[in-house]
Amino acid sequence: MTLFSWEAELLPLGVSMVLGGAALYKFKRSQSRTVSSLVVLCHSALLCLWGAYCFSSFSVFWSWILFALACCISLAYSTSQEMLPVDGRAVLITGGDTGIGHALSKHLDELGFTVFVGVLNEKGSGAEALRKSCSKRTSVFQMDVTDPAQIKEVQARIAEKVQHTGLWAVINNAGVLGTLGDGELLPMNIYRQCMDVNFFGAVEVTKAFLPLLRKSKGRFINVSSMAGGIPMKLYAAYSSSKAALSMFSGVMRLELKKWGIKVAVIHPAAFRTNIGGTREMWEKQEKNILENMSPDVQEAYGQDYLRSSTWPLLQYFSKTTTDFSPLFTDILHGILCKNPSALYTAGVFSYLWICLLSFFPISVFDYISHKIFHSNTLPKALT
């Protein structure tokens, strides 16, 4: 091999290494705030393995072509994942009294956002805690998402505050669990309550704040649930309302693209919040269901079925994690990423459940779901 031919082979290899290095640097730089180092490491390893395969299996020319193409694709992907600076961007969070909305408000305040928080009770302990612990950049407003008048008033006050900087993001987080139980047993008022808060409330907020986001070309982040993506026993009212929110998010993502507004939906799973309620609340809900049962339904299910089938979930709720960091990572990515994902699945096994439902026969999903969430409790008529 002559010196010239040796240099000719080193040149494409060097160019490929420069492209690969640039892609990996860009990827690590853009993702460092939201993705763990393990993801960056996996991305780097895959690119290196692809390069090794190319140079061991093809001629130098085709190796360079294939590896450079992979680097260019990687570079294009990492560019779309670039994170925008906080720069005091203004965000609105609904349902900030407790749970995810409360903790998220504090988290975004610490990161330097201008935070507007809608609460169900502006004189409650949750609202007072936010005023005490957050900076002056955070404002708390009375905003029941089922009250159009309150939403309209908050919209006007926020529009006045952000007339120069604009409102960057709306996080539709407010939600209720309602009552759990077999769909046949749940009173219609529970279905209506879940739809009013989880779905119609988010739609009302979205429509009210769209003009402000149109100016900033911002984004909507809708907090749905894993139960809104897969069917779950005993969650008929809650799951239906969250599924409606997820579908609404997808439609709005397509329709608002022409305005430069991005929409993302979050499917959290297994995070401990106050949405599960207390033992006293469950007793009250159980009494309400039993009193509204028709005689024939009560005869079929029996007096003890509801408690024995649903109350074990109280134990489940108490064992879920209070670490919201995976969820906040996804929400922050949705807020600041140059090209956010359409769907984020935060929590234990949430993405695996969606894959199971999407790519396997329904019979497989039903079998696994039945095995994992199996209950020995049966209605009276079946025992």
Asked whether the beta carbons of 66 and 54 are under 8 A apart, the reply is: yes
149-179 CB burial, b ≥16 within 10 A, e <16: ebbeebbeebeeebeeebbbbbbbbbbbbbb
- The yes-or-no answer on residue 238 being catalytic is yes
Asked whether the beta carbons of 97 and 124 are under 8 A apart, the reply is: yes
- Measured distance CA(177)–CA(130) in Å, rounded: 23
Among 25, 53, 191, 238, the one annotated catalytic: 238
Helix (H) or strand (E) holding 57: helix 37-57
Tokens of 52: 């090794």
- Measured distance CA(219)–CA(168) in Å, rounded: 7
Asked whether the beta carbons of 237 and 226 are under 8 A apart, the reply is: no
Residue 362: partners with Cβ closer than 8 Å, 6 or more residues away: none
Asked whether the beta carbons of 354 and 243 are under 8 A apart, the reply is: no
Q: Active-site residues: which are they?
A: 238
